[in-house]
Amino acid sequence: MIIRILSEGQYEVDDDLVDDLNTLDGNLLDAIEADDADAFGRALRELLTAVRQAAQPVPDTALIPSEFVLPSEDADLDEVRGMLRGDGLIPG
């Protein structure tokens, strides 16, 4: 699957990592629902770090649609709240 991190680029992530990413996405969703800015910042960093570490960057010259879009690391809680779908940023 292809995941875009805004202001950064695209990453190709193996489909078998979806469950791990969903767990991290759930932590982010919990922090947003609790309106906990500190937990939100930690959860967002953990999710983005997991994508960066587990994925291969997609070359900037490649034109591949992203299946999921994640916020940049400097996004605030309200920005990410506006990006949410029913079950988080990475449905599944």
Q: What is the pLDDT of residues 11-70, one digit of tens each?
A: 999 989 989 999 999 999 999 999 999 999 999 999 999 999 999 999 989 989 999 999
Return d(Cα 63, Cα 47) in angstroms, integer. Answer: 24
- For the cut 80, the answer to whether the pLDDT of residue 91 exceeds it is no
CB 88 within 8 A of CB 31: no
Residue 72 sits in which domain range? Answer: 2-83
Residue 28 belongs to a domain: yes
Rg of the chain over all Cα atoms, to the nearest angstrom: 12
Confidence of residue 88 (pLDDT cuts 50, 70, 90): confident
pLDDT at 21: 94
- Which pLDDT belongs to residue 89? 87
Domain-located, residue 90: no
57 in a structural domain: yes
> Taking a C-beta distance cutoff of 8 angstroms, is the pair 17, 54 a contact?
yes
In a domain, 88, yes or no: no
**pLDDT at residue 90, rounded to an integer:** 82
pLDDT the model gives residue 92: 66
**Packing angle between helix 18-33 and helix 37-54, nearest 10 degrees?**
170
Domain count, the chain: 1
